């Protein structure tokens, strides 16, 4: 009974408690985890940032942005160019700001495109900017062999990424709860109606798209040293656009924590399957994704209300049964 009560009446307490536990686990991890797992965890946290900030904008509005890799790449290149000249924290901020400046310009021009056209444009944009930066880097600045960064302490990198995850989650949590969150959602629901309800849809879209890119750029700037050898074509890898989307869908976009769960499960599966089945891991991946989409249309996060419903039903039945028994006894 007490356990049931704990789950029903103290849900907030429970959520905060488990959050704290996870945070303690993550912060103490470098003390006992080996380098491989620290790196894996850093990568997963990096994808968490990308997936959550992608879902904040695209999940709510339905504007499928494939430009994530561009903003991430801008962050990576910022570190590649500036490493050693400025404190790392300053570089991260610059990376985020550059990415958001780019997102602002792109948003102004393209966020009037609907549906698949926006997706295609943002996809092409990643290719375009990747090639431009590559050209400038090799032909004009003559960094023909790319940039070799100082290998960092994996623990420090993990802490930085963890810090960014916390900042991202807190910011986006409040955005989702704010009137901007409601405005974004209404744009996804019906943009025409949203306009007529007094929402400046263009401004809302551009501002929130810009904000989402700050986190993506910062993630790139932090992650850059982990890549060690950086070339523009690696920095602007289009996979960094697709993976966060898969993670967000996998985890479920209806809930705030969905993309986080998705990034962790997906990120771990990705690494584990790659090690186990080098040849077939994509196949296994595909099957898992299809199963999730077929049976969990709301992603892994959709499991929670589903289970709650089932569990609630069982509990209610059990209680009724108990009452009936009492009635029978009297």
Partner 1 sequence: MRTLEGQGVTKYFGGLAAVSNVDFHVDRGEIVGLIGPNGAGKTTLFNLTSGALPLSSGEITFKGQKIRGLKPHRVCKMGVSRTFQETKVFGNMPVLQNVLVGAFFGSPNRISAADAAREASQALEFVGLSAMAGNSIQDLTLVSQKRVEVARALATRPELLLLDELMAGLNPAEVSEAMELVAKIRDTGITIFIVEHVMKAIMGICERIMVLHHGEKIAEGTPQEIASNKTVIEIYLGEETHAGS
Please give the size of the binding site for partner 1, defined by CB under 8 A: 18
Give the residue from 103, 68, 124 showing the smallest Cα distance to 246. 68
Secondary structure, 3-state, 136-201: HHHHHCCCCCCEECCCCCHHHHHHHHHHHHHHHHHHHHHHHHCHHHHHHHHHHHCHHHHHHCCCCH
- 213 vs 104, 166, 168, 236, CA distance in Å? 9, 16, 11, 14
Smaller CB distance to partner 1: residue 28 or 200? 200
On the CB side of 133, how many CA atoms lie within 13 Å of its CA? 26
Query: Are the beta carbons of 157 and 42 closer than 8 angstroms?
Result: yes
Smaller CB distance to partner 1: residue 191 or 268? 191
Smaller CB distance to partner 1: residue 86 or 185? 185
What mask, x for binding partner 1 by CB under 8 A, covers residues 217 to 236? --------------------
Smaller CB distance to partner 1: residue 42 or 255? 255
Query: What's the rounded Cα separation, in Å, for the pair 212 and 245?
Result: 14
Residue 194: CB minimum distance to partner 1, A: 7
What mask, x for binding partner 1 by CB under 8 A, covers residues 120 to 139? --------------------
Residue 199: CB minimum distance to partner 1, A: 5
Residue 191: CB minimum distance to partner 1, A: 9
Residue 148: CB minimum distance to partner 1, A: 47
Residue 313: CB minimum distance to partner 1, A: 19
Q: Residues 56 to 75: which contact partner 1 by CB under 8 A?
A: none
Smaller CB distance to partner 1: residue 124 or 297? 297
Helix (H) or strand (E) holding 229: strand 229-230
Residue 266: CB minimum distance to partner 1, A: 24
Residue 112: CB minimum distance to partner 1, A: 12
Smaller CB distance to partner 1: residue 297 or 321? 297
Q: Residues 147 to 206: which contact partner 1 by CB under 8 A?
A: 179, 182-183, 185-186, 188-190, 192-201
Instruction: Outline where the chain has alpha helix (H).
Output: 2-9, 11-32, 35-54, 60-61, 68-82, 88-110, 115-135, 154-177, 179-189, 191-196, 201-227, 232-235, 239-251, 258-276, 281-295, 303-329
Q: Enumerate residues 6+ apart whose C-beta is below 8 A from 77.
A: 133, 137, 220, 224, 230, 232, 235
Q: Provide the 8-state DSSP code for 296.
A: -
Among positive and negative, which fits the CA dihedral 158, 243, 291, 314?
Answer: positive
Smaller CB distance to partner 1: residue 40 or 182? 182
Smaller CB distance to partner 1: residue 18 or 190? 190
Query: Are the beta carbons of 97 and 217 closer than 8 angstroms?
Result: yes
Residue 182: CB minimum distance to partner 1, A: 6
Residues that bind partner 1 (CB under 8 A): 179, 182-183, 185-186, 188-190, 192-201
């Amino acid at each position: 009974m007490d356990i049931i009560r704990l789950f029903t009446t103290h849900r907030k307490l429970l959520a905060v408690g488990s959050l704290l536990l996870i945070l303690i686990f993550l912060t103490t991890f470098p003390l006992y985890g080996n380098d491989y797992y620290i790196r894996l965890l850093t990568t997963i946290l990096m994808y968490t940032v990308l997936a959550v900030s992608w879902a904040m904008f695209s999940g709510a509005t339905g504007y499928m942005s494939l430009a994530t890799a561009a903003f991430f790449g801008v962050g990576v290149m910022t570190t590649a160019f500036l490493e050693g000249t400025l404190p790392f924290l300053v570089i991260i901020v610059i990376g985020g700001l550059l990415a958001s400046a780019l997102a602002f310009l792109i948003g102004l021009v393209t966020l009037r495109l609907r549906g698949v056209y926006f997706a295609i444009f943002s996809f092409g944009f990643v290719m375009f900017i990747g090639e431009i930066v590559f050209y400038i880097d090799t032909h004009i600045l003559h960094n023909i062999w790319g940039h070799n960064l100082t290998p960092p302490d994996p623990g420090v990198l993990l802490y930085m990424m963890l810090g960014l995850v916390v900042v991202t989650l807190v910011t986006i949590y409040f955005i989702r709860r704010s009137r901007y969150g409601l405005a974004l959602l209404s744009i996804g629901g019906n943009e025409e109606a949203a306009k007529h309800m007094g929402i400046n849809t263009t401004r809302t879209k551009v501002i929130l798209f810009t904000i989402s890119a700050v986190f993506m750029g910062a993630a790139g700037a932090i992650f850059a040293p982990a890549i060690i050898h950086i070339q523009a074509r690696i920095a602007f890898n289009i996979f960094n656009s697709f993976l966060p989307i898969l993670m967000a869908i996998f985890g479920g976009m209806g809930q705030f924590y969905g993309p986080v769960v998705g990034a962790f499960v997906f990120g771990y599966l990705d690494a584990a399957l790659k090690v186990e089945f080098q040849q077939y891991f994509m196949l296994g991946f595909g099957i898992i994704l299809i199963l999730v989409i077929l049976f969990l249309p709301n992603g892994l996060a959709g499991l929670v209300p589903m289970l709650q419903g089932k569990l609630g039903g069982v509990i209610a039945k059990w209680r009724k049964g108990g009452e009936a028994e009492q009635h029978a006894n009297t």
